[in-house]
């Protein structure tokens, strides 16, 4: 498959591109999950009220809980649109592929989303006028369609991480029901429910017009929504087991940042789970507003950690075994090493550089490294490699996938690599206005040799034998 279609290339200055999507994604996921779980909880409370199991549950429905769901629903949708907007700026190739492969799935997801919008709005607008049965029906439609949109999007997101046999078969359903589909879906289902339960606990605490016992009863009902968190360890292990070995390695010690995020997710979930079980179920303690808010903050942390792990575990790919994070196809590396990675980038740079070589370096940087690094800001190349010797700089970039396994192989010519190294050195020297170019053929030949030694394949595949080892 070729990805040689030329999409515009954007520069975001000091912001690391990947982080822009990641940061936005966390808010989006949290809000959207609350909107879905909140709908389910409202249906449950409606049922409690109309069957006489808990008549006062209706007051929760008519309180500002309803508005919270509405707000999260609207902001969830807005951040969703913002995600599309940024990701097509940042990685149009990936989005292009996703739309290509999952065209109809995505259309279906949109249909569910629209039903969710209409049902949610109808409840908000006319809920008070409707009969109990109609209210329940509307809330069930809202919940089922909201959950449906999660179901469809989950197949696409988990396919990016573990496309599995799709890579060979190109069968839509093989890609959709991939090996992380079910653990991810269950994980997200539980997250939706726990977040909704916690928000409900916060809201009930503020409803001082209710007597204490009523509040306690309502909170216990909300706590039922948090109980599935007890299944989280099993689902987490299932998810980890379904990950390819290298990805599992990153989150379990291989990458410090990823391991930290995994620990954050696990730790925060364990605290919530522990509190729910011990506090609510065993001793029948009530959960006060401050605690509920704290637990909610932990849930946000757990969500953030979980999303980071999912995004991070995919490195160096946006679509595993197909497309690297920098939008270079796995099967394009060899070709780009011959023709160069900058030839398909005719777009202007943000700033002028003093020499043609530095300009080439800046283009190489933005085509291959800019998605995960900045030059001098977050995760900056200047900081990571500026003080290395020039040989180290050249060799470690030529053997990029072996320098750190979560980086893709270098996919450009020796000239581009040298230009990138010179750019880092120029940056490290505090950008002097006069900077000599370097075009030593011996150096370029050495870089070629290193590129060959590293091979064009990712680090998840066995390293090629070196010429000296083969003998
Ligand atoms: C998929 C994301 C990704 C891409 C693409 C990527 N890197 Fe990295 N790189 C990382 C991460 C993450 C680290 C770890 C940073 C740390 O240890 O703090 C890293 C570390 C490094 C390091 C330090 C390695 C060490 O052993 O200390 C260098 C040098 C580096 N990258 C160079 C590059 C260059 C040059 C490119 C482009 C040709 C590039 N990277 C592309 C993610 C990426």
> Per-residue pLDDT tens for 343-400?
888 888 989 999 999 999 999 999 999 888 999 888 899 999 999 999 999 999 999 9
Does residue 106 have a cis peptide bond before it, meaning omega lies within 30 degrees of 0? no
Rounded alpha-carbon distances, angstroms, from residue 163 to 171, 235, 392: 10, 19, 35
How many domains are contained in the chain?
A: 2
**Are 32 and 129 in a shared domain?**
yes
**Are 136 and 260 in a shared domain?**
yes
Please give the number of the atom of ligand 1 that sits closest to the Cα of 420.
Answer: 35
**Does residue 6 form part of some domain?**
no
**Does residue 396 form part of some domain?**
yes
Residue where a domain terminates, one of 270, 291, 324: 324
Residue where a domain terminates, one of 262, 292, 324: 324
**Are 300 and 382 in a shared domain?**
no
**Does residue 333 form part of some domain?**
no
Record the pTM. 0.89
Number of other residues whose CB lies within 10 A of the CB of residue 374? 21
Which of 21, 370, 372, 394 has the most ligand 1 atoms within 8 A of CB, as the residue to mutate? 372
**Are 256 and 369 in a shared domain?**
no
**Does residue 176 form part of some domain?**
yes
**Does residue 11 form part of some domain?**
no
Q: If you measure from the C-alpha of residue 407 to the centroid of ligand 1, how many angstroms do you get, rounded to a whole number?
A: 6
Q: If you measure from the C-alpha of residue 400 to the centroid of ligand 1, how many angstroms do you get, rounded to a whole number?
A: 8
3-class DSSP state for residue 438?
coil
**Are 356 and 214 in a shared domain?**
no
**Does the beta carbon of 316 lie inside 6 Å of ligand 1?**
yes
**Are 370 and 264 in a shared domain?**
no
Q: If you measure from the C-alpha of residue 470 to the centroid of ligand 1, how many angstroms do you get, rounded to a whole number?
A: 29
**Does residue 8 form part of some domain?**
no
pLDDT for res 14? 62
pLDDT for res 450? 97
**Are 318 and 427 in a shared domain?**
no
Which CATH number characterizes residue 75's domain? Answer: 1.20.1630.10
pLDDT for res 15? 63
Let me know: does 357 contact 203? Beta carbons within 8 Å: no
Which of 363, 385, 407, 425 has the most ligand 1 atoms within 8 A of CB, as the residue to mutate? 407
pLDDT for res 70? 82
The sign of the dihedral angle between the CA atoms of 92, 410, 160, 184 is: negative
Q: Considering only CA atoms, which of 390, 444, 451, 394 is closest in space to residue 415?
A: 444
**Are 345 and 276 in a shared domain?**
no
Considering only CA atoms, which residue is closest to atom 9 of ligand 1?
Answer: 407
**Are 384 and 269 in a shared domain?**
no
Q: If you measure from the C-alpha of residue 160 to the centroid of ligand 1, how many angstroms do you get, rounded to a whole number?
A: 21
Q: If you measure from the C-alpha of residue 285 to the centroid of ligand 1, how many angstroms do you get, rounded to a whole number?
A: 49
**Does residue 94 form part of some domain?**
yes
Please give the number of the atom of ligand 1 that sits closest to the Cα of 316.
Answer: 1
**Are 74 and 194 in a shared domain?**
yes
Q: If you measure from the C-alpha of residue 410 to the centroid of ligand 1, how many angstroms do you get, rounded to a whole number?
A: 11
**Are 251 and 394 in a shared domain?**
no
Residue where a domain terminates, one of 274, 293, 324: 324
**Are 249 and 393 in a shared domain?**
no
Q: Considering only CA atoms, which of 92, 87, 78, 98 is closest in space to residue 8?
A: 92
d(C-alpha 451, C-alpha 399), whole Å: 6
**Does residue 9 form part of some domain?**
no
Considering only CA atoms, which residue is closest to atom 41 of ligand 1?
Answer: 369
Phi-psi map region of 430: left, alpha, beta (phi>0 left; psi -120 to 50 alpha)? left
What average pLDDT does the segment 447-458 reach?
A: 95
**Does the beta carbon of 379 lie inside 6 Å of ligand 1?**
yes
Mean pLDDT of the chain: 90
Query: Which residue range forms the structural domain that includes residue 247?
Result: 17-324
DSSP 109-148: HHHHHHHHHHHHHHHHHHGGGS-HHHHHHHHHHHHHHHHH
Residue 11 binned pLDDT confidence (cut-offs 50, 70, 90): confident
């Amino acid at each position: 498959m070729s990805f040689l279609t030329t999409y515009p290339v954007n520069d975001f200055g000091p912001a690391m591109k990947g982080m822009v999507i990641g940061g936005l994604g966390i808010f989006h996921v949290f809000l959207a999950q609350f909107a879905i779980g909140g709908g389910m909880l409202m249906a449950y409370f409606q049922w409690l009220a109309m069957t006489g199991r808990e008549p006062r549950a209706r007051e929760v429905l008519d309180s500002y809980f309803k508005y919270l769901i509405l707000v999260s629903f609207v902001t969830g949708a807005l951040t969703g649109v913002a995600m599309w907007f940024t990701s097509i700026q940042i990685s149009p190739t990936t989005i292009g592929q996703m739309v290509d492969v999952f065209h109809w799935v995505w259309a279906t997801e949109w249909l569910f989303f629209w039903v969710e919008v209409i049902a949610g709005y109808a409840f908000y607008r006319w809920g008070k006028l409707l009969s109990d049965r109609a209210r329940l029906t509307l809330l069930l439609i809202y919940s089922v369609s909201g959950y449906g949109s999660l179901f469809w999007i989950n197949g696409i997101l988990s396919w990016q991480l573990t496309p599995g046999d799709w890579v060979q078969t190109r069968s839509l359903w093989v890609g959709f029901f991939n090996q992380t589909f079910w653990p991810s879906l269950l994980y997200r289902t539980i997250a939706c429910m726990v977040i909704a339960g916690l928000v409900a606990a916060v809201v009930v605490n503020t409803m001082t017009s209710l007597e204490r016992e009523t509040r306690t009863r309502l909170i216990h009902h909300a706590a039922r929504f948090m109980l599935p968190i007890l299944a989280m360890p099993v689902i987490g292990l299932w998810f980890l087991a379904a990950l390819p070995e290298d990805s599992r390695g990153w989150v379990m010690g291989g990458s410090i940042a990823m391991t930290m995020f995994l620990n954050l997710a696990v730790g925060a979930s364990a605290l919530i789970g522990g509190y729910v079980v011990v506090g609510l179920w065993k001793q029948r303690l009530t959960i006060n507003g401050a605690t509920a808010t704290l637990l909610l903050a932990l849930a946000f942390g757990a969500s953030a950690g979980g999303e980071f792990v999912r995004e991070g575990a995919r490195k160096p790919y946006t679509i595993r075994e197909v497309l690297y994070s920098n939008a270079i196809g796995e099967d394009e590396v060899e070709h780009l090493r011959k023709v160069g990675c900058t030839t398909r980038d005719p777009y202007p740079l943000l700033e002028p550089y003093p020499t043609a070589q530095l300009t080439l370096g800046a283009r190489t940087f933005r085509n291959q490294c800019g998605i995960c690094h900045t030059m001098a800001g977050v995760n900056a190349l200047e900081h990571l490699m500026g003080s290395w010797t020039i040989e180290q700089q050249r060799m470690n970039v030529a053997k990029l996938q072996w320098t750190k396994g979560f980086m893709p192989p270098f996919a450009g010519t020796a000239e581009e690599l040298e230009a990138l190294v010179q750019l880092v050195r120029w940056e490290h020297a505090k950008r002097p206005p006069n900077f000599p170019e370097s075009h030593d053929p011996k150096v370029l030949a050495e870089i070629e040799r290193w590129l060959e030694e590293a091979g064009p394949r990712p680090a998840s595949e066995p390293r090629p034998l070196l010429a000296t080892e083969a003998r």
